[in-house]
């Protein structure tokens, strides 16, 4: 089948289908289920990156809190 026929059958634009095919071939070594993770799911690397970014933000907030608490108690002990 041609790319145009497949895109028409799937109801997507040919350029979108081309992009998906390119994405699948550039993810060398990616497990098949990670190539097109589906609605609402990110590829494994992106999920991990987002998780680490959330953890980094949480740890930064905790660090700021501890700095303020240490400054407060240092001021009180004088």
Q: Do 76 and 51 share a structural domain?
A: yes
Domain total for the chain?
2
Q: Tell which phi-psi region holds residue 39, choosing left (phi > 0), alpha (psi between -120 and 50) or beta.
A: beta
Q: Which two tokens stand for residue 16?
A: 């979108």
Q: Do 47 and 16 share a structural domain?
A: no
Q: Do 69 and 53 share a structural domain?
A: yes
Q: Do 32 and 46 share a structural domain?
A: no
Q: Do 49 and 24 share a structural domain?
A: no
The H or E element containing residue 33 is helix 32-35
| Half-sphere exposure (Cβ direction) of 12: Cα atoms closer than 13 Å | 12
8 A C-beta contact, residue 15 and residue 25: no
Provide the residue range defining the domain that includes 28: 1-36
Q: Do 47 and 32 share a structural domain?
A: no
Q: How far apart are CA 22 and CA 8, in angstroms?
A: 18
- pLDDT averaged per 10 residues, the chain (length 78): 88 88 69 61 79 96 95 86
């Amino acid at each position: 089948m041609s790319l145009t026929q497949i895109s028409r059958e799937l109801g997507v634009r040919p350029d979108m289908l081309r992009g998906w095919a390119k994405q699948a071939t550039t993810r060398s070594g990616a497990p098949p289920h990670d190539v097109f993770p589906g609605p609402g799911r990110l590829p494994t690397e992106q999920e991990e990156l987002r998780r680490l970014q959330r953890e980094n933000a949480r740890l930064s907030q905790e660090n700021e809190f501890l700095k303020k608490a240490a400054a407060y108690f240092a001021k009180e002990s004088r």
